[in-house]
Structure 1
Amino acid sequence: MVHGPEDYRLDTVPVPTPGPGELLLKVDAVGVCASDLKCYHGAAKFWGDENRPAWAERDRIAGHEFVGTVVQGDTTALTRRGVDLGDRIACEQIVPCGDCRYCLMGAYWMCAPHDMFGFKGFDGAMAEYVLVPTRALTHPVSRDLAPHVAAFAEPLSCAMHAVERGDIHFDDVVVIAGAGPIGLGAIAGTRQKNPRLVIALDMSDDKLALARQAGADLTINITTDDAVQKIKDLTDGYGADVYIEATGHPSAVSQGLNLLRKLGTYVEYSVFGSNASVDWSIISDDKELNVLGAHLGPHCWPAAIKLLESGTLPMDQICTHQFPLDRFQDALDLVADSEGGSVKVSIVPTLTHPTTSTAIRD
C-alpha cells in the first residue's frame, strides 16, 4: 500500500468484491518497474512539483505490470471479455475513460484523466487479488507461461510501441540504448522488423550478452568504446537511422542526437529522474531530426504476448528475480541496485521465499 514517497507498507485489506461487469483476479505475478521505483522515491513526474501536478495517489495498492487468474465475475463480464473462470489475463496499465478528446480520437493511451492501475484511480496488483474494472483493457495469456514471464507482456508491449514509433525499414541501422527490460524488449521488437543492423548500447557486458540473445547484431559497451564514433565508422560517417532511448539517463539523450544521421529518427521511451540538457540546434539546424515520444504499449499487446508464447526470447535470463509479497521492499531495493545483477524483478504472491533464474544462479 502506497502511503507516500518511501512509505510503502504491507497492509491487510478486504478482498475486492466485483460489481456488475467487473472481474476479480487472483494475482499470478506483478513486475517491478523503474517507474514504480521512481514513484517510490518521490519523482516529480508522480508526486508533482512547481512545474507539474501530482497524480500518484496515497492509500493506493501499487503494481501495474501483472497477470492473474479469473476467479470471480458475472456472466456479462466473462462474455464481454471472452473468458471463463480459471483463465489467465493481462491488463493494460491504463484504464481509459472513453470520453475525453484523446479516447474519442482513438488515442486511448493518452487518455486525459489517465487512470492507471497502481498509481491513480484503481488499485494495482502488488496484492493477492486485484479488481478489473469495466473500463479496463484485457488480453488472454497462456497458462503455460511461468507467471513472472507472462507478466513481462506489459514492458514488452511498451517496448514494441517504441519500435513502432521508430518506423523502422529493412535497410535501417537501429541503435537501442539500454539493455534493461525495456531495452531488451525494444531489441526483440526491432529484430522482428528485420532491419539491416540492430545495435545495443549498455555499460554492462552481461546485459550486452543478453542483448545479443534478444536479437542484437552488434553490442557496444559505452564505458570502453566511443559509441558515436563506432556507429559513424559503420555507416560511412553518416550515423544511425533510428535511435531508441531506454535508459532513463540524461546522458543518453545527447548521445542519441549525436550518433543519428541527418533526417534520422529519435524515439524517447524512458521515465527520467532528472532533467536532460542538450544542444537543441542539433535537432533543427544541424540534422532536422524526427524526435518522437512513446508512451505505454497501445495495440502491441497481442504481438508481445505472441512473442512470449513463442519461446524465442531468453526469458529465464531476463526474468532474473522473483520475490514473495512480504518481500516487496527487497524487490524495490534490488531494482534500485545497479550492481545487484538483476534484469527483471517480479513479485509472485504465491511464493514463500525469493527465487532467481537458473542462469543467474549458475
Structure 2
Amino acid sequence: MMSKLPETMTAVVCHAPNDYRLEQCQRPVAKQNEVIIKIEACGICGSDCKASSGADMFWCGDDPWLKAPVIPGHEFYGVVAELGEGAAEHFGVTVGDKVIAEQIVPCGKCRFCDTGKYWMCEVHNIFGFQKDVAEGGMAEYMRVPANARLHKIPDSVSLEDSALIEPMACAIHTVNRADIQLDDVVVLAGLGPLGLCMVQVAKLKTPRKIVVIDMVDERLELAKAFGADVVLNPSRDDIDKEVKGMTDGYGCDVYIEATGHPSAVTQGLQIIRKLGRFIEFSVFGAETTTDWSVIGDRKELDIRGAHLGPYTYPVAIDLLERGLVTSRGIVTHDFSLNDWEEAFKLASSTDSIKVLLKP
C-alpha cells in the first residue's frame, strides 16, 4: 500500500520555444476511470528536442498543435499510485502495478477511432503536447485519462527496457509497414534510438541483408552487434556505389528513413530499386524537396509512412521480456528532473543515444 500522495510535485514545464522551466505544480488527482502514475523514468525524444528549439510543425500558425504551458514527455512508464472511481475495473490494474500508457490519447469518436485506426485520431492528443488534456511524463506524477490505452509491464522487465517500450513499439510498427521479405536487402538510414530499435526488429524478420547508414561510428558498431550485416558511413563511403554493388546494380528492396534529415530522403530515392518500398518515419525540422518523377515515372515506388506504435505495445513488452530485443547500449544517460537542462542539451547531441529523466 502506497503512502498518502503529496499535493504538489516537481515537473518540467514547456511555456514556449526555448522557454522550458522546472516548476512546482499541483499533483494531478484521479477522476472517474482515471489513473495517477508515479513516473519511474521518461525518455527525451527527438521530437521533444525539436519542439524545445521551435520546429515549425509544433509551433506554426495561430493555433499551434503544441498547446503550452504543458508538461512534456511521451516516453514514460511508472507505477500506479492512485485509482479514480471505477479505474481498477476500467483498466484492469491495481495500485503498485508497473504500467505504460501509449503516447496517443484517442478521442474515440472520429472516423479513424471508430474504425480501429486510433493512432491516426483526428483530434490527435499526444501526451506531453496538449495542456490539461494530455500532460506528459517529465514530472513526478502524471494523469492517465479514461480514454488512454494502458498496458501492464512485467516486473522482470528492467527500468531501462521499460523506458524503451515506446520507441520499440514505434520501431515494430515501422518495420511491419516495410513488409520485409526473406530475400530483401533492407537499408536503414539513421541510428538514433528508434533506428537502433528498428535494426533489432528487422533482424527478427530475417531478411537477406540489413544495411545501416549513420555518421557516428559508435552507433554503426552497436547496430552491427544488433545484427546489421553491412555498416556504411556517408563521410567516407559512397552509399550509392556500395548498395548498388551488393544488389547487382538494382538497389535495395526496402529503404527506411529514420534520420529526420532531408538529405536522407533524396539518398533513399537514389539507392532504392524500381518498385521498392520506401518507409518514412522521421519528424523533420525542415522541409525537404525532391524530384517526384523518381517516385512515379522512373521507379513506381511504394511510399509508406509510419506513425506511432499502434497495437504494438504488447509486442514490444513481450520481445523485451523474452530478451529478443534490448535497451543495452541504447540507453546511455540518466538525469534527475533538477538537471533537465543538461539532459536536453545532451539529448540534442551525438554524444548520447537515449537520455532518461528519472524523477
Q: 1:109 to 1:314 in 2, by over 3 A?
A: closer
The match for 2:88 among 78, 91, 102 is: 78
Offset at residue 302 of structure 1 (A): 1.2
The separation in 2 between residues aligned to 1:132 and 1:26, in whole angstroms, is: 11
The separation in 1 between residues aligned to 2:333 and 2:157, in whole angstroms, is: 16
Partner of 2:332: 320
Task: Note if contact 1:172-1:197 (Cα within 8 Å) is conserved in structure 2.
Answer: yes
Task: Note if contact 1:25-1:71 (Cα within 8 Å) is conserved in structure 2.
Answer: yes
In structure 2, give the amino acid aligned to 1:161. Answer: H
User: Residue 68 of structure 1: SS of its match in structure 2?
Assistant: strand
User: Residue 211 of structure 1: SS of its match in structure 2?
Assistant: helix
Deviations for 1:78-97, whole angstroms, at most 9, x for unmatched residues?
22222221111111110000
Stretches of structure 1 lacking an aligned partner (at least 5 in a row): 350-362
Aligned residue runs from structure 1 range 294-305, under 5 A: 294-305=306-317
Aligned residue runs from structure 1 range 245-324, under 5 A: 245-324=257-336
Task: Note if contact 1:2-1:57 (Cα within 8 Å) is conserved in structure 2.
Answer: no
In structure 2, give the amino acid aligned to 1:277. Answer: T
Partner of 1:33: 45
Partner of 1:132: 144
- After superposition, the CA RMSD in angstroms is 1.3
In structure 2, give the amino acid aligned to 1:265. Answer: R
The match for 1:109 among 98, 119, 127 is: 119
Offset at residue 36 of structure 1 (A): 0.3
Offset at residue 315 of structure 1 (A): 2.2
Offset at residue 313 of structure 1 (A): 3.7
Aligned residue runs from structure 1 range 168-317, under 5 A: 168-317=180-329
The separation in 1 between residues aligned to 2:178 and 2:207, in whole angstroms, is: 12
The match for 2:165 among 132, 148, 153 is: 153
The separation in 1 between residues aligned to 2:279 and 2:16, in whole angstroms, is: 32
In structure 2, give the amino acid aligned to 1:220. Answer: L
Task: Note if contact 1:18-1:24 (Cα within 8 Å) is conserved in structure 2.
Answer: yes
Partner of 2:26: 14
1:344 aligns to 2:328 (yes or no): no
The separation in 1 between residues aligned to 2:358 and 2:156, in whole angstroms, is: 16
Query: TM-score normalized by structure 1?
Result: 0.93
Task: Note if contact 1:263-1:288 (Cα within 8 Å) is conserved in structure 2.
Answer: yes
In structure 2, give the amino acid aligned to 1:165. Answer: R
The separation in 2 between residues aligned to 1:142 and 1:13, in whole angstroms, is: 30
The separation in 2 between residues aligned to 1:189 and 1:312, in whole angstroms, is: 9
User: Residue 228 of structure 2: SS of its match in structure 1?
Assistant: coil
Partner of 2:97: 87
User: Residue 2 of structure 1: SS of its match in structure 2?
Assistant: strand
Task: Note if contact 1:213-1:314 (Cα within 8 Å) is conserved in structure 2.
Answer: no
The separation in 2 between residues aligned to 1:36 and 1:275, in whole angstroms, is: 18
Task: Note if contact 2:161-2:326 (Cα within 8 Å) is conserved in structure 1.
Answer: no
The separation in 2 between residues aligned to 1:56 and 1:233, in whole angstroms, is: 45
Stretches of structure 2 lacking an aligned partner (at least 5 in a row): 1-12
User: Residue 15 of structure 2: SS of its match in structure 1?
Assistant: coil
**Equivalent residues, number:** 345
The separation in 1 between residues aligned to 2:262 and 2:111, in whole angstroms, is: 32
The separation in 2 between residues aligned to 1:74 and 1:185, in whole angstroms, is: 35
The separation in 2 between residues aligned to 1:3 and 1:95, in whole angstroms, is: 21
In structure 2, give the amino acid aligned to 1:81. Answer: F
The separation in 1 between residues aligned to 2:337 and 2:60, in whole angstroms, is: 28
The separation in 2 between residues aligned to 1:34 and 1:286, in whole angstroms, is: 33
Divergent runs of 4+, >4 A? none
User: Residue 27 of structure 2: SS of its match in structure 1?
Assistant: coil
Offset at residue 49 of structure 1 (A): 4.0
1:55 aligns to 2:51 (yes or no): no
1:4 aligns to 2:34 (yes or no): no
Deviations for 1:241-260, whole angstroms, at most 9, x for unmatched residues?
00100000110000101110
| Percent sequence identity over aligned pairs | 46
Task: Note if contact 2:160-2:327 (Cα within 8 Å) is conserved in structure 1.
Answer: no
Partner of 1:357: none
